[in-house]
Structure 1
Amino acid sequence: MSTIYEAAGGMDVFVRLAEATHQRCLADPLLQHPFSHADNQPDHTDRLAAYWAEALGGPPTYTTTMRGSESHVQRLHAGEADYAVEASPRFVQCVVDSFDEAGVPADPEVRQAIADYVTWAATGPFQAWGRSKDDVPDDLVMPHWDWDGPVPPA
């Protein structure tokens, strides 16, 4: 069986999905503020696409080439627990609403797998560090997801 990354169409689809999601978030009054800061990072959508792709079975571009780490990602979102409770479902909806524009295949299993992953990430790991970025350990392992859900670390 192929990975979710492969079934979705590979990196080009994830780049388009990250770009379309970013634009939807900028248009949302609740999500606009944090995503407007991402405009100061010209590679934000490329990094987001690489992160999603790697988490869903694609190449380890985020953690190797971009030198991203899960600890860094979690620190970016730490201390926002109250905001995240309200913002997370809206972020997930922005991702799902971007499927057609990004060219995510119409296959319901592919779309559901991506939606399930984004929902899980937005409501679990990204809300785990509600108090402070100082609480985030330095050695967090990037979570991976397959057709059956979260993949335990090797």
Structure 2
Amino acid sequence: MKNIPTLYEWAGDTQTFETLFTTFYDKVLRDDLLGEVFQNMSANHVKHVAHFVAEVFGGDKLYTLEDGGSHASMISHHIGKMLNEEKRQRWVHLLLQSADEVGLKSDPEFRSAFVGYLEWGTRIAVINSQLTENPMNQQEPMPQWGWGETGGPYIANAN
């Protein structure tokens, strides 16, 4: 049995994710479609998103332990933003462009898992952005993303 690394381990380390999201949000802020959505983001936004994704990919729990975040708190940042498919696609496009620029691993297996997560996460963000209240309670666990599938069809507010 071979020891398969987590997506986080395969990608690199915390600095890998911080570099990726710094490069990405530099693009986002200059983007004609997304710039307005993120123009008032906090000074810690980039670091928090980097820590969130790193943790979801199997890295240290920096988002939950150091940043004081949770899955519910991440969801709360999307509530009422009224995101649409065009913005979602641009977000994914700019992040994949940034991944190439910073030299994020490009092997098919990793990129498949990475793109799968982006598709899953951004589609949930769009759904939650249409809501006025957070559907998730603070005790919900952080998502975990690995090399495989999501685990079944999406059902809103399923317990």
Smaller-chain TM-score bracket:
0.7 to 0.9
Normalised by the length of structure 2, the TM-score is: 0.83
Provide the residue aligned with 2:63 in structure 1.
62
Deviation at 1:55, TM superposition (A): 0.5
CA deviation digits over 1:39-79, x for unaligned, max 9? xx222111111000001111111011111011111111012
CA distance in 2, matches of 1:86, 1:120: 16
Deviation at 1:95, TM superposition (A): 0.7
Q: Runs of 5+ in structure 2 lacking a partner? A: 153-159
Normalised by the length of structure 1, the TM-score is: 0.86
SS in 2 for 1:77: coil
Query: In 2, are the aligned partners of 1:14 and 1:50 still within 8 Å (CA)?
Result: yes
Provide the residue aligned with 1:139 in structure 2.
139
CA distance in 1, matches of 2:23, 2:141: 27
Larger radius of gyration: 2
Query: In 1, are the aligned partners of 2:75 and 2:134 still within 8 Å (CA)?
Result: no
Return closer, same or farther for 1:97/1:28 CA change in 2, 3 Å cut-off. same
Provide the residue aligned with 1:32 in structure 2.
35
Query: In 1, are the aligned partners of 2:29 and 2:38 still within 8 Å (CA)?
Result: yes
CA distance in 2, matches of 1:4, 1:134: 28
Alignment of 1:1-150 (within 5 A): 1-38=4-41, 41-81=42-82, 83-128=83-128, 130-150=130-150
Q: Percent identity?
A: 28
Deviation at 1:134, TM superposition (A): 5.0
Deviation at 1:124, TM superposition (A): 2.2
CA distance in 2, matches of 1:125, 1:88: 8
Deviation at 1:137, TM superposition (A): 3.1
Deviation at 1:147, TM superposition (A): 0.3
**Aligned-pair RMSD on alpha carbons?**
2.0
